[in-house]
Structure 1
Amino acid sequence: MHFCSRCLYTSHHPLHLVFDADGVCSGCRIHEEKDARDWSERSEKLKSIFDVYRNRSGRNYDCIVPVSGARDSYFIVHTVKNVYGLNPLLVTYNKQYNTDVGVRNLARLRTVFDCDLMTLTVNPDTVKRITRSTFRRFGSVYWHCLAGQTVYPVQIAVKFKIPLIVWGAHQGVDQVGMFSHDDEVEMTRRYRKQHDLMGYEAEDLIDEFDNVTAPDVTPYVYPDNRELEQVGVRGIYLNNYIRWDSRAQHESMIGKYGYETAPQTRTFDTYNDVDCWNYSDVHDYIKLLKHGFGKVVDHACREIRLRRMSRETAIDLVKPLLFAKPSNLTLLLDWLGITENAFHYVVDQHRNRQFWSRDDAWEWQFGVDLPQGWAQSGDPDQALPSVGEHRDFILTGKDASTDRADSYILIGKGTA
């Protein structure tokens, strides 16, 4: 296993990293572009793209913006509508792992920006069958979310003949340096299948054993190339044109629009996934079992690269959270209709034996001393100068919910 000499990623990242002669990973090197590019020039380029797609007649929307009750949705809509003056149609996929904070954030989003919002809610029984299938077959309880939120905007683009889709950050650029910002990589069906969907298209899930039928997966089927070409569908990523800083963006949105935050089970970041009780909880715990790290490492690497956190501080923050047990497992098991024994039996089939092994008492043990590896691989010559002391993420603590903490929310009206 190779450790980056600057951040905390290793060579086992599922999106793949390459390391240079100094031991620095490709994600860190591409991240350096953020301080070397003329972002005002790239902003003008973004404006020129938007100008091409403005609907001069006023009879249709200028673009589609996929949103949720978390992540960078507020910042993206703010940028598209208030900075560049476009009229976006907002679309969201109901992931069905909703939190009351996320419901309120989404309600406030559509209200404060005065935008139309379309929502796809798939029959919960169908979603559960699909999720039981993806969990059994490749160890994912989140496939339907990834599939839905990446296909529904494209389906709506085709249906309403709105060519431009505006996404936030491309993970391959911002996290692992798969592409340079200069490549201006755009949305592709191939990347979605290989990386977002773990190699499985919707049609691949049709299976008599799991009782998943063709009609069940229809909401997740990607439009064919002919449909895409007829409309000229194109998906661009803002992080190719704007210096992307998720934390700074969220804090700006907290101040401007009252975006709500919430503590997360397995990371110190209280901003990114507050709309979902599964993502930074059970889903992230499964990520640890399969890939040997969790979302807290992603967040620590981002803070190191943005010079807000030293490597030593990052290690101290990651250690108590990396192996934290999920707090919402019972809620997920009740929703899926499976027992805890069944869950552990299935998840153990997907546990990565490069990291995990049984001890003499037949208990699972993690076989890699990550803190030691991080400590030994760090190179002071590759460390970035800090821009200030690390400070905690903001917890808004406003608008206390009347919902039970362990309740299941399919659809909520929120407040605004």
Structure 2
Amino acid sequence: MSADLHFCRRCLYGTSHPLGLVLDEEGICSGCRIHEEKDRLDWDERWRRLERIVQPHRSVSGREYDCIVPVTGAQDSYYIVHLVKERLGLNPLLVTYNKYFNTPLGIKNLANLRIRYNCDILFQNVNPVSVKKITRTTLREFGSMYWPCLAGQTVFPVQVAVRHRIPLIIWGAHQGLEQTGMFSHEHEVEMTRRYRKDHDLMGHEADDLLLVYDTLKEEDIWQYRYPGDDDLNSVGVTGIYLGNYVRWDPKAQHELMMKRHDFRTAPFARTFDCYDYTDCFNYMDVHDVLKLYKQGYSRVTDHASREIRHGRLTREQGLALVRAHEQVSPKYLDLFCSWLGITPRSLQFMLDQHRNPRFWTELTPGRWAFNGWSVHSGSHESAPVEVNLSKARFTPTDTLEYDRDAAYITLGKGHP
């Protein structure tokens, strides 16, 4: 472990966070400091500011779409549409990218969302042969099985905005703001091509794959291209984040949507949060293992740090939860191997190539010692830390798979 890696005294984040994070003279990280804004900003005034921002985009006739809202069968989609449709009174066009790792529960949630809010929706289904080719390339070359998912989810809404000449795209919360304090809420940062490339796509645009690797062709990557500046400017495309105008609290928001609109949740082995990413077999599974290999921490650290900031966990309790979950073996690795057409042994070999030597040491072939964030971010108690989940209790209401032979739903638009 490098001596220049330090940890926040309040949450569990370290200074090697891929989105960039700094500690102040009190040892508190930039993410925690920006989180403090949630308790001092006038959110009623910020909501009024949001209303002023969207007002020019309202359809005069009331028979056209006012905005575009990207959605999935999980994450904050229900709450975003709730704010857009029920509170702002806009008529959104929903858009969703098919990542092909779909769970039955995700399909059910997405169908229920469309019905509950009575919204039109557009699906993008990229040729699965091309998606698999890109996945093999990105997994092999820079350790990402999720690159096509991230690329598609962030570019399809922009393409639709240009194609249908609907300037306003409304997203949820900005990851860089929420996790590491990359921006203040008052900066009112908007969606950018640069942030997408640098962070969502790990520095690789679709055409970069063609320039570097010879296994992909034009017909494989063209649907992941970001529209040009001329097209964006001619429509006036702008993407705003609701988290700049609403006090963002995913746990409270999900529970509100569970109560009002029957949003369904499911447990995961690798985290205590059962509200996030229930639409995907891989995000909290093989993809999360890759994150641990590369970054030295995994999604459970994100969840624990968020709950610590909201005052629902202590730092010691959060760290205990991280240590209990982050080394759990993936449950759906065989599903991914079957879909991609490789053996589990071949996949593990590729995953091991991306273990960061800063956090992993190979003791003998195939046997690794972990030296990541949770090893260094707090003391190891001689007795187990009691985790009081009275405030941070997450309630599963469903399951990811509905039968013993779980499988990806390649295409699913409805559910009984």
Does the residue aligned with 2:93 lie in a helix, a strand or coil? strand
In the alignment, structure 1 residue 112 sits paired with structure 2 residue 116: yes
Alignment correspondent of 1:406:
406
- What displacement does 1:391 show? 3.9
Tell me what 1:174 maps to: 178
Q: Which amino acid aligns with 2:171?
A: W
Provide Cα deviations, 1:308-332, integer angstroms capped at 9, x if missing partner.
1111211121111011111111111
Compute the displacement of 1:303 (Å): 0.2
The letter of the residue matching 2:164 is F
Conservation of the 8 A alpha-carbon contact between 1:266 and 1:296: yes
SS at match of 2:379: helix
Of 187, 193, 197, the residue aligned with 1:189 is 193
**Counterpart-to-counterpart distance in 1, 2:100 and 2:372:** 35
Match of 1:381 in 2: none
The answer to whether the 8 Å contact 1:315/1:371 transfers is no
Contact 2:14 2:373 in 1 (8 A): no
Determine the C-alpha separation between the residues in 1 that align with 2:368 and 2:345.
15
Are 1:103 and 2:107 matched, yes or no?
yes
Q: 265-274 vs 52-61, which deviates more?
A: 52-61
User: Which of 344, 349, 355 does residue 348 from structure 2 map onto?
Assistant: 344
Alignment of 1:359-370 (within 5 A): 359-360=363-364, 363-368=367-372, 370=374
SS at match of 1:253: helix
Shift of 1:368: 4.3
Q: Is residue 281 of structure 2 the alignment partner of residue 277 of structure 1?
A: yes
Alignment match, 1:379: none
TM-score for the superposition, normalised by structure 2: 0.94
Match of 1:311 in 2: 315
Aligned counterparts of 2:278 and 2:351: Cα–Cα separation in 1 = 25
CA distance in 2, matches of 1:153, 1:40: 29
1:326–1:44 Cα change, 3 Å: same
8 Å CA contact retained: 1:60, 1:162: no
Q: Distance in 1 between matches of 2:314 and 2:403?
A: 38
1:273 to partner: Cα distance: 0.4
In the comparison of the two structures, how many residue pairs are matched? Answer: 405
Is the aligned partner of 1:19 residue 2:23? yes
Deviations 1:82-117 (A, max 9, x none): 011000000000010000000000000000100000
Corresponding residue of 1:382: none
Q: Decide whether the 8 Å contact of 1:187 with 1:235 is kept in 2.
A: yes
| Corresponding residue for residue 140 of structure 1 | 144
Q: Does 1:250 align with 2:251?
A: no
Which stretch shifts more, 205-214 or 312-321? 205-214
Match for 2:39 among 35, 40, 53? 35
Partner of 1:359: helix, strand, or coil? strand
Structure 2 residue identity aligned to 1:113: Y
Tell me the secondary structure at the aligned position of residue 378 of structure 2: helix
Cα deviations by residue, 1:330-367 (Å, 9 ceiling, x for unpaired): 11111111122322222222210101111156621112
Indicate which of 275, 293, 297 corresponds to 1:293: 297
Q: Which amino acid aligns with 2:407?
A: S
Instruction: Using the TM superposition, name which of 212-221 and 94-103 deviates more.
Output: 212-221
Q: Which residue in 1 is equivalent to 2:95?
A: 91
Partner of 1:396: 397
* Structure 2, unpaired ranges of 5+: 381-387
Query: Which segment is superposed worse, 59-68 or 204-213?
Result: 204-213
CA distance in 1, matches of 2:169, 2:327: 37
Distance 1:277 1:329 in 2: 9
Displacement after TM superposition at 1:402 (Å): 4.6
Distance 1:32 1:334, change over 3 A: same
Question: Residue in 2 aligned with 1:384?
Answer: none
Q: Is the 8 A contact 1:55 1:61 kept in 2?
A: yes
Q: Distance in 1 between matches of 2:161 and 2:332?
A: 35
Does 2:224 correspond to 1:223? no
**Residue 394 of structure 1: how far off its partner (Å):** 1.0
Whether the 8 Å contact between 2:145 and 2:287 is mirrored in structure 1 is: yes
Structure 1 position 415 matched with structure 2 position 415: yes
Q: Is the 8 A contact 1:309 1:389 kept in 2?
A: no
SS in 2 for 1:270: coil
Q: Distance in 2 between matches of 1:23 and 1:151?
A: 37
Q: Secondary structure at the match of 2:306?
A: helix
> Which of 324, 331, 344 is matched with 2:328 structurally?
324
Farther-moved stretch of structure 1 (300-309 vs 338-347):
338-347
Distance 2:233 2:377 in 1: 49
Give me the whole-angstrom Cα distance separating, in 2, the residues matched to 1:328 and 1:290: 20
Equivalent residue runs for 1:193-208 within 5 Å: 193-206=197-210
Question: CA shift at 1:209, angstroms?
Answer: 5.5
- Aligned twin of 1:57: 61
Q: Deviations over 1:29-82 (max 9, x none)?
A: 000000010000000000001111101123420000000000000000010000
CA–CA separation in structure 2 for the residues paired with 1:280 and 1:226 = 38
Partner Cα distance (2:250, 2:64) in 1: 30
Give 1:67's aligned amino acid: V
Paired residues of 2:151 and 2:224 also in contact (CA < 8 A): yes
Say which SS state the counterpart of residue 180 (structure 2) adopts: coil
Q: CA deviation at 1:17?
A: 0.3
Give the 3 Å change call, closer, same or farther, for CA 22–101 of structure 1 in structure 2: same
Q: CA deviation at 1:228?
A: 0.1
Q: Determine helix, strand or coil for the equivalent of 2:186.
A: helix
Structure 1 residue runs of 5 or longer lacking an equivalent are 377-386
Distance, in Å, in 1 between the alignment partners of 2:208 and 2:36 is 39
Q: 2:43 touches 2:247 (CA, 8 Å); kept in 1?
A: yes
Partner SS for 1:235: strand
Once residues 177 and 183 of structure 1 are traced to their aligned partners in structure 2, the CA distance between those partners, rounded to angstroms, is: 11
Once the two structures are superposed, what CA deviation does each residue of 1:168-210 show, in whole Å capped at 9, x if it has no partner? 0000111100000010000000000000000000111126965
